[in-house]
Amino acid sequence: MTRHLLKAEIHCHIEGAAPPVLAAKQADKYGVDTTGFLRDGAYVWNDFSEFLVCYDRVAALFRTDADYALLTESYLTELAGANTIYSEIIVSPDHGDRIGLGADAYLSGICEGIRRAGEKTGIEARIIVTGERHFGPDSVIAAAEYAARSQNPLVTGFNMAGEERMGRVADYARAFDIARDAGLGLTIHAGEVCGPFSVIDALDLVRPSRLGHGVRAVEDPELVARLRDLGTVLEVCPGSNVALNVYPDFHHHPLRRLHKEGVRVCLNSDDPPFFHTSLEREYEIASSVMGFSDAEINAMTRTAIEAAFVDEATRQRLL
Ligand code: ADE
Ligand code: ZN
């Protein structure tokens, strides 16, 4: 049982945290037909491409700052109920823009949700602005410029999510230069759908302190050694990887091997209701299926906090 363990995550997409029940309510409110992506209380998709389409359709059900405040507050309150002390939320201003809400109102709704959940439960959270790779390099650069301009103290990092098979990291490197120059922490989805080349590109061109997923680096022993020597933290999301069929089951998942090789890893939920998971379930699987001891799991939580894009005073308080 891992319920009693303190938890932290540094990789969860805000729209990806929307429970189907809430999405259905939102669809009713705005008169949106959900057939095709929401059926019998579950999201409907069959592969990674369909998942991304489904994700974007769910995102389009959140249309006001109040919608985003409610979504964020509910997600963080549930996390806090499972003993979670810290969460980094991945947000994409593009989704706010695409629905006509605008990036500022989108962000202020999310901040309000963080404030309310923090007040109620004490959970600490920060925001990572992300570009969506499948929206193209210009939109990823615009997201980086937005994050760089933001004076919001909760915005502490920059990421790129979306379709990893679209283009090469080089096409998006400028976005990361902008974010780095602005002092933001850097992480990037790589080595999830694509193999080691994608992680090598990310390390060479982005020089991030963390990687979203990164698990397919395991296919290249030299790359595993490079990650270990650099101390790059992998934001591992086992439930997501199995649901998206990157691995057939948890026994074939490389978390154990990466951990054994000395790569720094932590546990994350990614898009929990899309993958029928939760952070609590990820911890439980690490314990009961993958055989990690409580001490090893606590060390992973510590790794998440050490790698968090947060000021030192807050980090020390959380550690
Ligand atoms: N956006 C939301 N979840 C994602 C994932 N697992 N990979 C890439 N982009 C995403
Ligand atoms: Zn992700």
Q: Which residues line ligand 1 (CB under 6 A)?
A: 13, 16, 55, 161-162, 189, 192, 240, 270-271
- Predicted pLDDT at 224: 98
Its sign, for the CA torsion 49, 53, 54, 55, is: positive
Give the full edge-to-edge strand order of the sheet including 233-236. 7-13, 84-91, 124-132, 155-161, 185-190, 210-213, 233-236, 264-267
The one-letter amino acid code at 171 reads: D
Beta carbons of 223 and 191 less than 8 angstroms apart: no
Could you identify the residue written with the tokens 């000021």?
Answer: 311
Please indicate whether residue 192 is annotated as part of the active site. Answer: yes
Average pLDDT of each block of 10 consecutive residues along the chain (319 residues)?
94 98 97 95 97 96 98 98 98 93 97 98 98 96 97 97 97 98 98 98 98 98 98 98 98 98 98 98 98 98 98 97
Asked if 17 and 68 count as a contact pair (C-beta separation under 8 A), the reply is no
pLDDT score recorded for residue 1? 84
Q: Do the interacting molecules here have an ipTM over 0.95? A: yes
Q: Which tokens belong to 216?
A: 């397919």
Q: How far is CA 31 from the centre of its chain?
A: 29
Ligand 1 nearest atom to the CA of residue 192, by list position: 7
Model pLDDT, residue 22:
98
Backbone angles phi, psi at 155, to 5 degrees: -85, 110
Residue 170: closest CA among 188, 195, 158: 188
Q: Which CATH architecture has domain 7-310?
A: Alpha-Beta Barrel (3.20)
According to the annotation, is 251 in a ligand binding site?
no
User: Residue 82, class by beta-carbon neighbours within 10 Å (0-12 exposed, 13-18 middle, 19+ buried)?
Assistant: middle
Tell me which residues have their CB within 5 A of the ion that is ligand 2. Answer: 270
Cβ 134 vs Cβ 193: under 8 Å:
no
Q: Does 271 belong to an annotated binding site?
A: yes
Query: Looking at residue 154, what is its pLDDT?
Result: 98
pLDDT score at 3? 87
Query: What is the rounded distance in angstroms from the CA atom of residue 96 to the CA atom of residue 63?
Result: 7
| Of 184, 96, 171, nearest in space to 134 by CA | 171
User: Ligand 1, from 11, 47, 55, 130: best to mutate by most atoms within 8 Å of Cβ?
Assistant: 55
